Amino acid sequence: MVEQLRLMAVHAHPDDESSKGAATMARYIAEGHEVMVVTCTGGEAGSILNPAMDRPDVLENMAEIRRGEMARAAEILGIQHRWLGFVDSGLPEGDPLPPLPEGCFALVPLEESVPPLVRAIREFRPHVVVTYDENGGYPHPDHIRCHEVSVAAFDAAGDPERYPAEGEPWQPLKLYYSHGFSRAKLLAFHEALTEAGLESPYDEWLKNWDADQPDVIERVTTRVECADYFPVRDEALKAHATQIDPTSRWFAVPLEMQREVWPTEEYELARSLVDSTLPEDDLFAGVREKVTA
């Protein structure tokens, strides 16, 4: 009999969990497994991206509001949730870029930011950990730091000599990077919308895509079928009302078209302590066979 499996997804800000891998998490919850999202920062420096929420009272209470949004998204997805408690670094803009604010997550030394995640791993005991790649998915300083902290914690959590104050050692068996935004995916949706006579919001995005930049789809090792859970994903996204405009391009592709054109979420296997055959269709591939009651 296979033990109940556990997945941990480590994200930089509230709403990242709903825009990256949410349908996968909802699928595993529905299958009876446990999922925990760890959010590194409170998203305090986030902008209001939904015009309907662009009010002074929202901006003044951004931290509290985003905590409430995260709680609603977690309830919709059925996941467990944990805050690491670091401060949002914000996305620096300008030329030259301004310095990051003192004390923000991206500037906290790894020897201070890794132990809380090690503790979370040792307490939840995930078999699989998902985070961002070395580019953060996109080059936000908190996303890049999230990658660095996640990889370091994955490596340290099973070592009894490292961070002994953070609990009994636990070694996750696999580490993945999520790859949600690929050129191939955008192009597939763009072409499907165009062929159906619908307006595509991706035309300019694709035109501005650096043709010399390798598509992350080339790094994908694992495609998880999760189209049945796209509606759950969308409801979780909408829970983050300060960040997600329900009339935006997030929802431009009809759900039935998504199911037909791109019914999966994509990942890159970065570390594995079990045997599995690539390409995979399951984040627990190789884990299911190894972990028994």
Name the residue among 228, 235, 211 with its Cα closest to residue 263: 228
Total count of domains within the chain: 1
208 lies in some domain:
no
Mean pLDDT in residue range 141-146: 97
> How large is the average pLDDT for residues 219-247?
97
Per-residue confidence at 215, pLDDT binned at 50, 70, 90? very high
Q: What is the pLDDT of residue 47?
A: 87
Closest CA to 86 of 47, 116, 48: 116
> For residue 188, is it within any domain?
no
Residue 138 in any domain: the answer is yes
Structural domain contains residue 201 = no
Confidence band, pLDDT 50/70/90 cuts, at residue 2: low
Q: Is 195 part of a structural domain of the chain? A: no
pLDDT tens per residue across span 82-141:
999 999 999 888 888 889 999 999 999 999 999 999 999 999 999 999 999 999 988 899
d(CA 88, CA 146): 11
What's 68's domain CATH number?
3.40.50.10320
Q: Is 168 a domain residue?
A: yes
Per-residue pLDDT reduced to its tens digit, 44-77: 988 899 999 999 999 889 999 999 999 999 999 9
Instruction: Report yes or no: 175 and 267 within 8 Å, Cβ to Cβ.
Output: no
**Would you say residue 189 lies in a domain?**
no
Top-confidence residue, 91 or 17? 17
Give residue 293's pLDDT band: very low, low, confident or very high (50, 70, 90): very low
Determine the straight-line distance between the first and last CA of the chain, rounded to whole angstroms.
Answer: 6
The per-residue pLDDT for 94 is 82
Please report whether residue 42 resides in a domain: yes
Residue 211 has pLDDT above 80, yes or no: no
Is the pLDDT confidence value at 270 over 80? yes
Tell me the mean pLDDT in the region 218-244.
97
Per the structure, the complete domain to which residue 268 belongs is given by 6-182+217-290
